Amino acid sequence: MTSAKLSRRQFIASVSGAAVVSSLATKAWAAEAREGIEQPVQDKKVRIGVVGGGFGASFHWHEDPNCEVAAVSDLIPERRDNLANRYQCGKTYPSLEELIKDDTIDAVSVFSGAPDHVRHCVAVMNHGKHCISAVPAAISLEECEELLEAKERNGVYYMMAETSYYRWDTITARRLYEDGKFGELMYSEVEYYHPAIGAGYDGLSYYQGRRTWRYGYPPMLYPTHSTGFLVGVSRERLTEVSCLGTVGTDQAFKDNAYNNPFDNQCALFRTDKGHMCRCNVMWNVWNHGERAQWFGTNLSLFSEGWSGQPFVIKAREGPDITTVPDYWSMVPEAMRYDSGHGASHPFLTHEFIMAILEDREPAVSVYEALSITAPGIVAHESSLRGGEQLKIPSYDKA
């Protein structure tokens, strides 16, 4: 986070005189508790089991003062050892199915492959344990229903570890939106680029000579790093979509488990407030990373990007704001370092633990997770139908 060097007070001072400042100073930046500021809960600890020794090893469970890593698991011994070392945990299990039988565990972090998320999360919740999952929440509408039903039936908490929610430009956009500084947020552009992922020549497409779940994987079945930028700011719901794709020439997009021909997909969504959102998820363009642009009638915010685009807030009145505020005070001191995805990992870690201890839905609850995930599933179907405009179901509480 090289651009996030100013304290909130310094940030406000740097834009003194701008029309937006009064709100930033009095509410958006001062009322920090609404974003889950560090609030230690006595001596209580959540005992968590961590499953998945790849991406799952990049979080901060052992550094949260209200969390203890009680056990770890991965099918691959080397990855299981990696988890044990990372989280300083002496108890290991050979599989998730064994770990969830441990009655001393309160919650489980599921970082398995995308097609296994719902099956694994449902098993966790059926054992009465809270669950945080890697993205996406599901890869079919049927799985969306299954995940929601299991969460509500078991009376536990579910959170999706969507990194876009706690990227610092997103936090800034969310606070500006809550304060009405955008005016009306008319349009957004949300993007995720990961060159070569899913292609037959990419190393992640194979393990020990066999295809992995990533081989030929449809871009729009991994939508959350894009859609999360809008839903995580305005809480709007994406209700309709038309989506197009480019047909991949790599062998992986000619023969895969998903019958998916597309290596790039671009969707145009309509929201429940009548706004537009253009969403890209692409594997075969020379661009990298996750970013967004939010366009309001009074103010717009542009994420920094791989191309050199800087972070900037442009308002009708006042100077441009080009420095992201510092949000480290939102997490305990031991967790204040960037372990990936725009410094979002410690924030996701802490939010899940605090939600359990405070007995509340986490920020990216099952309802938010499905509102971010399901639009991509429907967008992929639209691509298969040549861009036909399709309705997106809602998974919110009745």
Number of Cβ atoms within 10 Å of the Cβ of 42: 7
pLDDT at 188 over 60: yes
Q: What's the pLDDT band for 189 if we cut at 50, 70, 90?
A: very high
Q: What is the mean pLDDT of residues 60-85?
A: 93
Instruction: Quick: pLDDT tens for 219-266.
Output: 999 999 999 999 999 999 999 999 999 999 999 999 999 999 999 999
* Percentage of residues in the chain having pLDDT higher than 90: 82
Can you tell me the distance from the alpha carbon of 58 to that of 1, in angstroms, rounded to the nearest whole number? 17
Beta bridge partners of 159: 132
Burial code (b: 16+ CB inside 10 Å, e: under 16) for 339-353 equals: eebbbbbbbbbbbbb
Q: Which of 178, 26, 71, 227 is nearest to 8 (CA)?
A: 26
How many residues are listed for the chain in this entry?
Answer: 398
Lowest mean pLDDT: which of 23-27, 92-96, 198-202, 345-349? Answer: 23-27
Q: What is the mean pLDDT of residues 69-95?
A: 93
Q: What's the pLDDT band for 41 if we cut at 50, 70, 90?
A: low
pLDDT at 397 over 50: yes
pLDDT at 114 over 70: yes
pLDDT at 28 over 90: no
Query: Could you tell me if 124 and 108 are in contact, meaning their C-beta atoms sit under 8 angstroms apart?
Result: yes
Q: What's the pLDDT band for 40 if we cut at 50, 70, 90?
A: low
* Percentage of residues in the chain having pLDDT higher than 70: 89
CA 138 to chain centre: 13
Average pLDDT, the chain: 90
Give the model's pLDDT for residue 34. 43
Can you tell me the distance from the alpha carbon of 295 to that of 172, in angstroms, rounded to the nearest whole number? 14
Can you tell me the distance from the alpha carbon of 361 to that of 349, in angstroms, rounded to the nearest whole number? 14
pLDDT at 4 over 60: no
Can you tell me the distance from the alpha carbon of 247 to that of 260, in angstroms, rounded to the nearest whole number? 9
pLDDT at 8 over 60: no
Q: What's the pLDDT band for 363 if we cut at 50, 70, 90?
A: very high
Q: What's the pLDDT band for 56 if we cut at 50, 70, 90?
A: confident
Cβ within 8 Å of residue 398, ≥6 positions away: none
Q: What's the pLDDT band for 17 if we cut at 50, 70, 90?
A: very low
pLDDT at 31 over 90: no
Q: What is the mean pLDDT of residues 376-386?
A: 98
Query: Quick one: 164-331+364-391 is in which CATH superfamily?
Result: Dihydrodipicolinate Reductase; domain 2 (3.30.360.10)
Q: Which of 359, 306, 346, 319 is nearest to 106 (CA)?
A: 359
Q: What is the mean pLDDT of residues 61-66?
A: 93
Lowest mean pLDDT: which of 42-46, 105-109, 125-129, 381-385? Answer: 42-46
Query: Could you tell me if 106 and 130 are in contact, meaning their C-beta atoms sit under 8 angstroms apart?
Result: yes
Instruction: Quick: pLDDT tens for 122-172.
Output: 999 999 999 999 999 999 999 999 999 999 999 999 999 999 999 999 999
Q: How far is CA 128 from CA 61, 121, 150, in A?
A: 20, 11, 10
pLDDT at 5 over 70: no
Q: What's the pLDDT band for 282 if we cut at 50, 70, 90?
A: very high
pLDDT at 296 over 90: yes
Q: How far is CA 72 from CA 7, 32, 60, 159, 220, in A?
A: 37, 33, 14, 19, 31
CATH 3.40.50.720, domain 46-161, yes or no: yes
The residue extents of the domains of the chain are 46-161, 164-331+364-391
Give the model's pLDDT for residue 267. 98
Can you tell me the distance from the alpha carbon of 255 to that of 215, in angstroms, rounded to the nearest whole number? 9
